[in-house]
Amino acid sequence: MQNKNSKYAEIQLVHRMTVIKRIIHWSFFAAIINNIITGFYIAYPFLIFGKTPTQADSLSTGVLNSGETYQAFIMTWMREFHFIGAVIIDVIFFVWLYLAFFSWKEPLYKSFIPFGDKMEEAWRMLKHYFTLKDRPETGKYQDPLNAIIFTFFHLLILLQMLTGFQMYVASFTGTSAVGAWWPWLLHFSTDWTLVVFGGLTGVTLVHLFIMWLIIIFIVYHIYIEVWRSVMWKEGDILIPFGGYKYMRNKSGSE
């Protein structure tokens, strides 16, 4: 897609995110923010309902007057929304995993192979972050450094899913509305977390701690995309909106 204008002759458009990927990106975002808020509430019920005076007379011990117990199922709602968010996250994780290999347009593995070269390039990108010099060229696919970091992030999500499902299956007794295979599957795939993290309390703490790693990732992710947009003037921040970014490669111009 060459631009006719001579000043911008070397700028090209690259397609980076299909519609499906953009939908995934923003549903993931919404679900994770939702799970951070609701999960935090489950860990520390910061809104305390109740009408009794000592429970409602200070900000930290009660801000909402709910009326009678049966009228206020705040924890139920928080857990409900946490689980709805969890379902979205689970589905997206598996779709991501599929697309990482079988996407027609931009499979993630293309950013990893050939492995040695791509690691080298990731290292150069990291150096570029700190020296602002020698920027690796923008290619057709995601740059390897981002690919590595996003993969690591998805592993965090996977761990969050596994610990989450272990907590979830805790209230099952042998069978479920859809049959015994469901709790069996959850036990089968997540019981190892009990051994590794030291019982259900440890699993819960790991779940809570990974939440912080996820929050840190989100902040880093937004920062670095803004930074790239500012520094490279290639409109990286536009990718999840329009699907395209620009490419200004030296090789194109000189």
Partner 1 sequence: MASDNHSDSGNSNSNGNNSGNNFKWDPLRFLSKKPDEVLKKVDDRLDELEKEYFKGKKDKEENLPNIFGIYGVTRRDFLKWSAFLTSALMLPYIFEPRVARAANILTRTPFIWLDMADCMGNTEAFLRNANPTPAEIILNYVSVNYMESIMAPAGYQAEARRTETVKKYKGKYILVVEGAIPTGMDGKFLTIGAKGDTGLKITKETAKHAGVIIAVGNCAAYGGIPAANPNPTSAVGLSSVTNRSVINIPACPANPVNLVGTLVEYLLIGKAPQLDNLGRPLWAYSGRLHDNCYRRGHFEAGEYVRQWGDDGAKKQYCLYMMGCKGPFTWNNCTTAEYNQDISFPMRAGHGCIGCSQPKFWDRMTPFEKPNADAKIIIPGVEATADEFGVGLFAAAGAGIAAHAIYTGVKKKKERNNNKSKNENNDDSKKNNDKKE
- Give contact residues for partner 1 (rule: CB under 8 A): 10, 43-45, 47-50, 52-55, 61, 66, 69-70, 72-76, 129-130, 132, 169-175, 179-181, 183-184, 187-188, 191, 198-202, 204-206, 208-209, 211-213, 215-216, 219-220, 223, 227, 231, 233, 248, 250, 253
| Residue 89, binding choice from ligand HEM, partner 1, none, Cβ under 5 to 8 Å by partner class | ligand HEM
* Residue 242 binding: pick among ligand HEM, partner 1, none (C-beta 5-8 Å cut-off by kind): none
How wide is the angle at C-alpha 231 spanned by C-alphas 225 and 233, nearest 5°? 85
* Helical (H) or strand (E) element with 247: strand 244-248
Task: Report the partner that residue 165 touches, choosing among ligand HEM, partner 1, none (CB closer than 5 to 8 A by kind).
Answer: ligand HEM
Task: Considering the complex, state which of residue 23 and residue 42 has its C-beta at the smaller distance from partner 1.
Answer: 42
Residue 3 interaction partner, one of partner 1, ligand HEM, none, beta carbon < 5-8 Å per kind: none
Touching ligand HEM, residues 78-97 (CB under 6 A): 79, 82, 86, 89-90
Closest approach, Cβ 145 to ligand HEM, in A, equals 23
User: Is the Cβ of residue 120 or residue 191 nearer to ligand HEM in the bound state?
Assistant: 191
Q: Among partner 1, ligand HEM, none, what binds residue 74 when CB lies within 5 to 8 Å by partner kind?
A: partner 1
Residues forming the site for ligand HEM (CB under 6 A): 32, 35-36, 39-40, 42-43, 79, 82, 86, 89-90, 160-161, 164-165, 167-168, 204, 207-208, 211, 214
